[in-house]
A = this chain, B = another copy of it.
Amino acid sequence: MAKPPVISVVGFSNVGKTTLMVKLIRELKRRGYRVATIKHDVHGFQMDTPGKDSWKHAEAGSDCVVVSSPDRLAVIRRLDRELTLDEIVATLPDVDIVLTEGYKRGDKPKIEVSRAARGTGLLCSEDELIALATDQKHDVRVPQFDLDDAEGIVNLLERLYLRE
């Protein structure tokens, strides 16, 4: 099983990372790729309820709670320390591409989302970026796409990472 390419969608908070993620996922799925997505939640997340019963297992102290259904498998692991992106990717099933939301300090190629309403600066340096998704012009030598140009960005991803 070859390692899939891992691309990080980054940007300041509330800039529209999830919105772009959703558009990229839809476009990649439309083209038939198997996609995994990883959301970096630095604040920890609330334990919600894929099947309320089973979540009682977690509250009772289970280190790894699994819910298995005919079409989905949900797993929540309790961790002693946060896993690195590479450690997470190593546990994934076989996919063609992994998109992360966040991991701005990771070492993966990045697409930065930038919106004028949230500021004019960029989080990343030119050499970290493979693309910008933005509604303003930035003075960097990186391909720049409209915020909703998932097709253009996926064309770039295909060219860089998904062709044999």
Residues in A lying within 8 Å of B, measured CB to CB: 18, 21-23, 25-26, 29, 34-51, 53-54, 56-57, 59-79, 81-83, 88, 91-93, 95, 101
Q: Can you sample 11 A-B contacts with CB below 8 Å?
A: A36-B66, A37-B54, A38-B68, A39-B57, A39-B68, A41-B67, A44-B71, A44-B72, A53-B101, A66-B92, A72-B76
Known: A64-B92, A68-B82. A53 touches B35 (CB 8 A): no
| Contacting residue for A69 out of B44, B59, B68, CB 8 A | B44
Give the residues in chain B near A75, CB-CB below 8 Å.
73-76, 91
Give the residues in chain B near A38, CB-CB below 8 Å.
66-68
Bound CA–CA A39/B53 (angstroms): 8
- For A36, A46, A72, A83, the residue with the greatest tally of chain B CB atoms inside 10 Å of its CB is A72
| Contacting residue for A57 out of B22, B34, B79, CB 8 A | B22
Give the residues in chain B near A95, CB-CB below 8 Å.
63-64
